[in-house]
Structure 1
Amino acid sequence: MKRIKKFENIRWEFLGYRLVVMVFILALANCTDFVEVDPPKNIMVSQTVFEDASTVESAMADLYFSMRESGMVSGNYGFTTRMGIYSDELDYYGFDVQLVELYQNQVLPANTEVQTWWSEAYTVIYGANAIIEGVESSSVLEEADRNRFKGQALFVRGLMHYDLVSVFGDVPYVTTTDYRVNSAVSRLPEVQVLERIESDLLMAVELMGNSDIDNMERTVPDHFVAKALLARLYGYMGKWDKAEDMATDLMSVFDLEEELGNVFLKGSGETIWQLSHGELPGNTQEAVQLIIPLIPGQSFAMTDGLLAAFEDGDLRRTEWVDSISDAENTLTLYYPYKYKARFNATESLEYSIQFRLAEQFLIRSEARAHQGNLVGALADLNEVRNRAGLVDVVVHTEGELLEAILGERRIELFTEQGHRWFDLKRTGRAAVALGALKPSWEDTDLLLPVPEGELQANPNLLPQNQGY
């Protein structure tokens, strides 16, 4: 049992007592400046917000802004770096105590990174619920607008709960803005949370299926994005027939980028959904955090194990990895170079990609393998390999094929939203992969602790996860 270290911390009360008031002005869909007011605690904003589609678009834009800038999805606290050091993708060279705990698999319940994930996720969920309630009660919005906004909010609610259940296990599934309900919620068993996510996403697909919006930059969630998350969810749940169906739908619409150098540009044809930078040029936090500007001074670098996993001739090794050496050439560190613009002055060429088609190829490959369709599984796997300049893989059994797929996921999806960690966890390989690498590894590290402050504010969230 890990010893619980207590220290004085700002207490974030669960939801109802930590409502972020979002009042929206008439603006462009990606505007992020909003005026603060003080409505009743269980009311998000005046119903006037839901009398015009442009103000609801601004409300949704605020949710995307929050997801981009903080929390698990992207930004400074995203899964990419945090679960990268928690697993075997990234080494950590910094001195932040909270990140050292993650790197050494010694996370304490008072860890402020974990607290931020929990509180920011439920803040976004609160906002999504407020939009759902607002558009449902609006008598002014056209039906098509009500459907697409509700579908987008349901997707956001499903995504945030998916991220939460992935790292915390049993969590509350929050579907209201009523603080009296939210301040006393209990954690649901993981299987029930997954079922509710599925229900929200299926409804989102239905509501957004006929939506006709300008989404050329793929910055607004639509029914394709909801299907992408469903495919990922069904793989997590082991519902392989449904995972295959969702991935197939997407593969009939999107195409893999032929050139690896174009995959992470904002105009990539394989992008299903990405988070933009709003009206002003900006950088992806992935580039800001992962590109090493100098030695010393770096925080993250690729592990030897990840570098060794690349096959000879893999073009991803040359296109998506770069290095830097110290002045004496005595030390060389390698870093992810998928996003290449650390500084932007005039135009953002890269957005933070959340879902892209290559993942769907690998989801369908794994789904087909589990269903005994080895020929189809190999075809999907080799499509991704061939783009990287590799020859077709040769396997003889289903077990060998599944190992090859997981190995391909490690390389294709490295340092993207913690895919490597979640693959190790869902396939039961975490202990084998990390046990020898991480001296402090324990089997209970498959889940992170529920933040200490949340348990104190709401005892209904007890018991704490095992090991903490």
Structure 2
Amino acid sequence: MKKIFSFNNIKTLLAVLLLCMGSAACKKLIEIPNPVDRLTPKDVFKDSAGAVLAIEGVYLNFGYYELSQGAIFNGVMTMQTGLLSDELLTSSADNTFVDFANNTLRSDNNAVASVWSSAYTNLYVVNACIEGINNSTGISEKNKQQFIGELKVVRAFYYFNLINVFGPVPLIKGTDFRVNATIPRTPVNEVYQQIVADLTEARQLLQPAYPTTGRERPNLHTATALLAKVYLYQQNWSGAETMAKEVLGAGIYNLETDLNNVFVAGSKEAIWQLSTIKSQLYQTVEANDVIPMFPFMIPKYYLSTHLLDAFESKDQRKTKWTAVSTMDIDGVLTDFYYPFKYKNNTAAATPREDYMVFRLGEQYLILAEALARQGKLGEAQPYLTEVRVRSGLDEITPATQPAFLNAIMKERRTELFCEWSNRWFDLKRNGTVNEVIGAIKPEWQSTDALYPIPLGERRLNTFLEQNPGYTE
């Protein structure tokens, strides 16, 4: 975690400056007249304007509109876990990608290291912002509540993803590099406790209205949507039910009737959607990385037959959310389907697509599952039906709880494919990863369910133990 520990409290601003370089929104930070070596958190967070610019550094570091090998927020993990699971295959000969597809990851895999380092680099800045805002005397209480609330949503989301790919990870909430440098891995249940605490506090601090135009910065319902998902993963079915019902009852979100509109800017379905208007070359990294440059090219990432076979014949999600490139392979025309939820691979394409983090379709399925897990099949039925009918499918009425849960998992597979690692995480939380992946990948081992802890991080922090199944 070298990047994290290279700053101390006095140089918090430097972290923010580095994250904001090149961003028009952050250039005012550079104009502060004091010499850099005399700037302190008090200078940065002396008022709300400075705090907003610092928070901009957090969002800039998401990297969601920049090609980056490992930033959680730019779709990299979607592709990585899609390859690990049964969603994606790759035409790349680069071992970085092949190792994911073959479930043969090593602790020196650069992409794995980038996921870890990019997350902890930004977590440092999140923690620095929380400390600076809490200690500020020049920021109004109302603004403090909004700033702290949204930062705790961001921190919770980072840790949610980290524990679901790495297992136990260091739980770092401060900015003292001397303390952080020797923190061992924290048990998953303790990290979940912190995630729930952060989201519970965020729900107390945030308002239903979004703080800016669009839905880029979290509001109350963003925190609630993530908490619904967290409770689902913790098997807190009643908690997941309560949270998801609250989001659905907010009255400001609706399922898009046209599937082509789900991922466009201003989608009625969006709960948290990151604006791509700043991007100069393309809109989303996913579209740029997935859509072939020419229609006769094999896509870098393409859908497995296992996923394609999961779609029913009338499913409009296959029609509108996948595309196909046809190649002549040894005299045989072969179709390569690829994800097409994001269709714009140029910056000027219209309608503009913003990057979706949370959306209402997922909340419908969270609520359906939470109810079904409690045996409330009749209550769950309408939410499953809504998602199916929107996709052009008929209503189904599974008679038993196991059949109903299987139907929900199938619906999650086809509704949420290649979105935020949902399929990979579902296989693991349901205990089916060994059965499903072991049947299609001969090199699969149960220990492949977790990423290795990056070798470089273990050399920096000798208190980090390696996951089982990895030699270094």
Q: What TM-score results when the alignment is normalised by the length of structure 1? A: 0.91
CA deviations on 1:238-275 (whole Å, 9 max, x unpaired) are 00100011100110122111111111111110100011
1:277/1:348 contact within 8 Å kept: no
Q: Does 1:85 align with 2:83?
A: yes
Alpha-carbon distance, 1:414 to partner: 0.6
- Counterpart of 1:299, as a letter, is K
In structure 2, do the counterparts of structure 1 residues 437 and 130 end up closer, same or farther at CA, with 3 Å as the change threshold? same
- The alignment partner of 2:324 has SS state of strand
User: Which residue does 2:221 correspond to in 1?
Assistant: 224
Question: Contact (CA 8 Å) 2:283, 2:346: kept in 1 or not?
Answer: yes
Match of 1:3 in 2: none
Query: In 2, Cα distance between the equivalents of 1:176 and 1:456?
Result: 22
109-118 vs 347-356, greater mean Cα deviation? 347-356
What letter matches 1:234 in structure 2? Y
**1:290 equivalent in alignment to 2:290:** yes
Compared with structure 1, are the counterparts of its residues 170 and 185 closer, same or farther at alpha carbon in structure 2 (3 Å cutoff)? same
Shift in Å, 1:329? 6.7
Task: Name which of 113, 116, 139 aligns with 2:114.
Answer: 116
Following TM superposition, by how much is the alpha carbon of 1:96 offset from its aligned partner in structure 2, in angstroms?
A: 1.7
Cα contact 2:277–2:283 (8 A) shared by 1: no
**Alignment check: 8 A CA contact 1:151 1:205 kept:** yes
Asked if structure 1 preserves the Cα contact closer than 8 Å seen for 2:221 and 2:247, the reply is: yes
Matched residues in 1 for 2:192 and 2:165: separation? 13
| Partner-residue secondary structure (3-state), 1:129 | helix
Q: Which residue of 1 aligns with 2:302?
A: 301
Equivalent residue for 2:266? 267
Q: Report deviation, 1:461.
A: 1.3
Q: Structure 2 vs 1, CA of residues 228 and 45 (structure 1 numbering), >3 Å: closer, same or farther?
A: farther
Q: 1:56 aligns with which of 51, 63, 69?
A: 51
Q: Distance in 2 between matches of 1:347 and 1:315?
A: 21
CA distance in 1, matches of 2:231, 2:452: 25
Match of 1:245 in 2: 242
1:411-433 CA-to-partner distances (Å, cap 9, x unmatched) read 00011011100000100111111
Gap regions ≥5 residues in structure 1: 1-11
1:441 to 436, 444, 457: 444
1:427 corresponds to 2:426: no
Q: 1:367 to 1:79 in 2, by over 3 A?
A: same
- Of the three residues 61, 68, 71, the one matched with 1:66 is 61
Q: Is the 8 A contact 1:125 1:157 kept in 2?
A: yes
Contact kept? 1:172, 1:187, Cα under 8 Å:
yes
Note the C-alpha offset of 1:302. 0.6
Q: 2:317·2:391 contact (CA, 8 Å) conserved in 1?
A: yes
SS in 1 for 2:263: coil
The amino acid that maps onto 1:422 is: F
Q: CA contact under 8 A between 1:301 and 1:335: conserved in structure 2?
A: yes
Structure 1 residues 214 and 148, CA gap change in structure 2 (3 angstroms):
closer
Q: 1:238 to 1:228 in 2, by over 3 A?
A: same
- Which of 371, 374, 380 is matched with 1:371 structurally? 374
In 2, distance between residues paired with 1:198 and 1:256? 27
Q: Write the distance in 2 (CA, Å) between the matches of 1:38 and 1:414.
A: 49
Q: Which residue of 2 aligns with 1:465?
A: 467
- Alpha-carbon offset, residue 38 of structure 1: 9.0
Amino acid in structure 2 at the alignment position of 1:59: A
CA shift digits 1:82-123 (9 cap, x unpaired): 111111111111022111111110100111111111111111
How far did residue 73 of structure 1 move?
2.6
Q: Residues 58-93 of structure 1: CA distance to partner in whole angstroms, max 9, x if unpaired?
A: 222221121124444332x62211111111111111
Q: Is the 8 A contact 1:382 1:392 kept in 2?
A: yes
The corresponding residue for 1:8 is none
- Kept in 2: contact 1:169–1:190 (CA 8 A): yes
SS of residue in 2 equivalent to 1:326: strand
What are the within-5 Å matches in structure 2 for residues 12-31 of structure 1?
A: 12-13=1-2, 15-17=4-6, 21-23=15-17, 31=25
Q: Which amino acid aligns with 2:300?
A: S
Conserved in 1, the CA contact under 8 Å of 2:316 and 2:391?
yes
Q: CA shift at 1:296, angstroms?
A: 3.7
Check the 8 A contact 1:17/1:179 in 2, yes or no. Answer: yes
Asked if the contact 1:78/1:417 (under 8 Å) is kept, the reply is: no
Separation in 1, partners of 2:18, 2:206:
23
TM-score by length of structure 2 reads: 0.90
Deviates more, 1:437-446 or 1:337-346: 337-346
For residues 158-205 of structure 1, what are the alpha-carbon distances to aligned partners after superposition, in whole Å with 9 as ceiling and x for unaligned?
111111111111111111011111111111111111111100111111
C-alpha separation between the residues in 1 aligned to 2:15 and 2:213? 31
Q: In the aligned structure 2, how far is the partner of 1:394 from the partner of 1:82?
A: 35
Residues 128-277 of structure 1 mapped to structure 2, 5 A cutoff: 128-209=126-207, 213-253=210-250, 254-277=253-276
Q: Distance in 1 between matches of 2:220 and 2:449?
A: 31
Deviations 1:380-405 (A, max 9, x none): 11110011111111211100000000
Name 2:327's counterpart in structure 1.
326
* Cα offset, 1:208, TM superposition: 1.0
Given that 1:30 and 1:278 are in contact with CA atoms closer than 8 Å, whether structure 2 keeps it comes out as no
**Secondary structure, counterpart of 1:238 in structure 2:** coil
Contact 1:24 1:55 in 2 (8 A): no
The whole-number CA distance in structure 1 between the counterparts of 2:311 and 2:349 is 35
Distance verdict in 2 for CA 1:45–1:24, change over 3 Å: farther
The equivalent position to 2:392 in structure 1, one of 385, 389, 392, is 389
Offset, 1:454: 0.9
Alignment of 1:87-102 (within 5 A): 87-102=85-100
Aligned pairs, how many? Answer: 452
The alignment partner of 1:217 has SS state of: coil
Instruction: Using the TM superposition, give the Cα deviation of residue 279 of structure 1 relative to its aligned residue in structure 2, in angstroms.
Output: 3.7
Contact 2:279 2:347 in 1 (8 A): no
Change (3 A) 1:398 1:44: farther
Aligned to 2:17, the other structure's residue is in SS state coil
User: Residues 44 and 377 of structure 1: is their aligned pair in 2 closer, same or farther, counting only changes over 3 Å?
Assistant: farther
Please tell me whether the aligned partners of residues 63 and 124 of structure 1 are also in contact (alpha carbons under 8 angstroms).
yes
Q: Distance in 2 between matches of 1:436 and 1:145?
A: 53
Correspondent of 2:459 among 456, 460, 463: 456
> Which whole-Å deviations, capped at 9, do the CAs of 1:324-343 have from their partners, x for residues lacking one?
11267712211111111111
What SS does the corresponding residue of 1:353 show, helix, strand or coil?
strand
Q: Over residues 261-315 of structure 1, what are the superposed CA-to-partner deviations in whole Å (9 max), with x where a residue is unaligned?
A: 1111111101000111254554111111221233445311011111111001111
Report the 3-state secondary structure (helix = DSSP H, G, I; strand = E; otherwise coil) of the residue aligned with 1:31. Answer: helix
SS in 1 for 2:353: coil
Q: Percent identity?
A: 36
Q: Which segment drifts farther, 397-406 or 315-324? A: 315-324
Given that 1:231 and 1:363 are in contact with CA atoms closer than 8 Å, whether structure 2 keeps it comes out as yes
